Structure 1
Amino acid sequence: MANSLRLFFEEPKLFLTVYAKSQQLMKQLILCLLALVLLQGPIWGQTKAIAYKSFAGELPFFNPEDLPEDDFGLPPPMMIRLEKLNDSMVVETIRDWDQSLEIDTVKNHLYIHQQKLSMEELRKRYPRNIEFIGFEEDSLPRVSDTLADPQQPALEEIQKPMDRCPAPKKKTDSPKAEPQPRAEQGAIEQAEPQKAISCKLPEEEPIHLAYIGWGGFFLLFVLGLWYRIA
């Protein structure tokens, strides 16, 4: 009898200790998962645009979509110099981040051959420290200032002295409308009665109580889960 009473009172204590240990283990597991996610976030969040702004930082026309897909998280190579061979071929010298130089020959360059940018506009498309070889100031077409920003004459130069005078009033030769007698006016008013236009105010939409109930249920569920974990 005494042993049965002792086991009856000791079993709940054992159950509570096991439950407390499982709760502590669950907390440690959740904290480890959160720490792992926070540590992996900067690694997987290093996109092309972030990498470019962190390392390269000066190329104004950078577009992440133009880069290949296998360099995710890596900055693009740095342009060292541009050497113009002729009107349709350009040699680009590129340096990767491992200090190795690469030379690439580009035919029908987009900015030089197809768009035919001026030297001033071409320098804006590349970093400041890039070296241009074979590009004279007059080798590329330059947009003239008169065509780029034409000067419009002032308003006083366009207007003539006759334009500043007010326009004369137009003469109307049509006879004035004669007033109708009151009897005819009353007949017209009786023939065409005015139609009443009914206007309805927009009705307010009723608040759905189901949404409020689901929101309260979700809030109670989250609070209960937090209380069980804590």
Structure 2
Amino acid sequence: MPNNPPSYDRETFVRFALQEGVLKFGRFLTKSGRYSPYFFNAGLFNTGASVGRLGQFYAHALIESGLPFDMLFGPAYKGIPLATATAMALAQVAQANVGSVPFAFNRKEAKDHGEGGLLVGAPLQGRVVIVDDVITAGTSVRESVDIIRAQGAEPAGVLIALDRMERAGPDGDLTPGSAVQDVEQRYGLPVIAIADLTDILTLLATDPTFAEHEQAVLTYRDRYGIKDSRSF
């Protein structure tokens, strides 16, 4: 009997992140100064097997979005292995029909010897998808858009692992939309997420193993989040 093909749906990704310790529940102090009942750290995808599978999730999310693109760009530092793994996965997905996808990434500091410059990899040209882990303040996206446009290429969209569906700013002065919505509005770029907070809450509501964390995550979302990532 043939093996069943691997699944790359949203619930499977959430469970994969939990299995790898990338998604955790508890009480975590975030960079913004908030205490979050969950934490997502894509840097903990740190083995060849986990990064390889992660690339497959990225590739399938990009293909299923139907977004036209010519190449990938990974902003330093986390975006570098993510863009690399996604390009490798795209080459293995027959239905993608995209062939060998070029990719590039940037250095934090310009190299003053050898080939020099800030960019490594394929020349930036055509429609470029930015590959990153999450969008928090949008700084990485802004820098990536500037780099891509400076090379005469066109930013086509942003591909991320998780949309936290969370608003920025201090209590009492929160932004009207989430960080992802702000990027979409500011740059006119679609943001494709493998999964979002709604998918995490779906798991918490349906799997007794994690039910104890559901109310804390709901309370956090009601205070800082949006309930529909498609509305603004």
Normalised-by-shorter TM-score class:
under 0.3
Q: RCO greater where, 1 or 2, for CA within 8 Å and sep 6 or more?
A: 2
Q: Flag the structure with larger Rg.
A: 1
TM-score, normalising length from structure 2? 0.19
What TM-score, normalized by structure 1, do the two folds share?
A: 0.19
Q: Which structure carries more helix by proportion? A: 1
Instruction: Give the structure with the higher percent strand.
Output: 2
